[in-house]
Amino acid sequence: LSGRGDLYTNHWAVRIAGGAQQADRIAAKYGFRNLGQIGSLEDQYHFHHSRVVRRTAFSLKGLHSFIHMDPKVDWAQQQVVKTRVKR
């Protein structure tokens, strides 16, 4: 990974109020699968989109991108791979 910019994955962090069912509905609407709440962070959900390529050097656009504009979505972030080295 060294020497290059961000690497985008097909995972999203999404904050949606209204509970898990609401999150499921919104996930399905844009082709995501809701993998559940992120630990104990309230209203923060882990979405996965199997039709977006797993790793790309840029953020692919498509139907799924509209989730960022959904009024019920407070916040959404496509996950990038972080380089972590062992000490």
Torsion angle (degrees, nearest 10) of CA 21, 9, 5, 62 = -80
CB of residue 66 to other proteins, shortest distance in Å: 18
Q: Which of residues 61-80 bind other proteins (CB under 8 A)?
A: 77, 79-80
Please name every residue paired with 45 in a beta bridge, in sequence order, or none if there are none: 14, 37
d(CA 25, CA 38) in angstroms, rounded, equals 17
Applying CB under 8 A, which of residues 22, 38, 60, 72 lies at the interface with other proteins?
A: 38
Part of the chain binding other proteins (CB under 8 A), chosen from 2-10, 16-24, 59-67: 2-10
Q: Select 18 or 55, whichever has its Cβ closest to other proteins.
A: 55
